[in-house]
Amino acid sequence: MNLTKTMLSLAVGGAIALSSSAFADDKIKIGVSYPTPTHAWAAGMNWHAEQAEKRLEALYPDVDLILVNSPDPSAQASALEDLVSVSQIDALVVLPFESEPLTDPVLNVKKSGALITVVDRGLSQPGIEDIYVAGNNPELGRVSAQYMKGRLSDGDNIVILRGIPTTIDNERFDAFMAEIEGSGINVLDHKHANWNRDDGFEVMQDFLSRFPDIDAVWAQDDDIAIGVVAALEQAGRTGDGMFVVGGAGMKETIKSIADGNELQPVDVLYPPAMIATAMDVTVAAFKSNGPVAGRYILGATLITQENAMQFYFPDSPF
């Protein structure tokens, strides 16, 4: 596929004339819109977007990536308007702050003729985006449970710390529970720790006070896992083969896995670098002979001591 704004506009008008592309701006303009770094994962996402911009612009001198981060949904909606009216983008890569308030603004960008790539969070209305790039929440739960089953035996006990009550959290939890079923591993309790370090610490303290025999913890998230590890250390319950499984791919977690951390021996990938993957495929829509459209659902790769360094970006904030 090889499209430019001019071609698209002409195409909509029914008069396809490649020679008219001489009237178009020389550069292929791709807007990239995402939230400001309000938390660690988003900070990593911002960093990876900037890395991808440098890499792709060096590779393709005729591609101009225009990065804009926004502090809230209405600011992001305004940014999208500007990307169309001021920058006249040929394509948009967008990680929506929230689904509902960004659906109409993204639809308006689509109406301008731009190719639309949505990342991580879907819009409220199906069919707007040309390409959807996202992590795999059910697989994150399933891969975590498979690791638990490989390490634990019939009769062993685990506790689960969940995220913010959302579809994402439900998908992860339901897939974990479905995979663990029939293994004989007991889930003593599960509570929401809201993908937050402090909540992770408090929930884990509660679990430790109520359950004298815990063999492992599914923390689901690297921030929660930091709180869990602190609670385990404070209570002196890090021995007897105890281990914690987080998720996301925080750089400190990955480095410590590479170094052989026994308390947190693995992690499950849900990487902020997915914004870079989305930028790659969007640029490919203008440069490749292969089609670019559909759903690219990234794998929830198990990070172990063996492969950890492949996922380690020491300069990233996350």
Question: In whole angstroms, how close is the CB of 274 to its own copies at the nearest point?
Answer: 6
Question: In whole angstroms, how close is the CB of 72 to its own copies at the nearest point?
Answer: 26
Q: Which is nearer to its own copies, 108 or 305 (CB)?
A: 305
What is the contact surface with its own copies in residues (CB under 8 A)?
Answer: 1-3, 7, 11-12, 14, 16, 18, 48, 51-52, 55, 59, 130-131, 136, 258, 269, 271, 273-281, 284, 287-299, 301, 305-307, 309-311, 313
Contact 172, 210 (CB under 8 A): no
The DSSP letter of residue 223 is: H
Question: In whole angstroms, how close is the CB of 259 to its own copies at the nearest point?
Answer: 10
Q: Which amino acid is at 216?
A: A
DSSP class per residue in 257-310: HHTT-SSS--EEB--TTHHHHHHHHHHHHHH-SS---EEEE---PEE-TTTGGG
Q: Which is nearer to its own copies, 61 or 239 (CB)?
A: 61
Q: Which is nearer to its own copies, 234 or 310 (CB)?
A: 310
Q: Where are the alpha helices (DSSP H) in the chain?
A: 5-12, 40-59, 73-85, 99-111, 137-151, 167-180, 197-210, 222-234, 251-258, 274-287
Q: Which is nearer to its own copies, 150 or 290 (CB)?
A: 290
Question: In whole angstroms, how close is the CB of 211 to its own copies at the nearest point?
Answer: 34
Question: In whole angstroms, how close is the CB of 290 to its own copies at the nearest point?
Answer: 3
C-alpha triplet 261, 264, 268: angle, nearest 5°: 120
Question: In whole angstroms, how close is the CB of 270 to its own copies at the nearest point?
Answer: 10
204: three-class secondary structure by DSSP: helix
CA-wise closest residue to 82 among 109, 121, 111, 55: 109
Q: Which is nearer to its own copies, 27 or 55 (CB)?
A: 55
CA-wise closest residue to 172 among 146, 216, 135, 142: 142
C-alpha triplet 55, 59, 65: angle, nearest 5°: 60
Q: Which is nearer to its own copies, 59 or 164 (CB)?
A: 59
Question: In whole angstroms, how close is the CB of 26 to its own copies at the nearest point?
Answer: 19
- Sign of the Cα pseudo-torsion (56, 59, 63, 66, in order): positive
Q: Which is nearer to its own copies, 38 or 288 (CB)?
A: 288
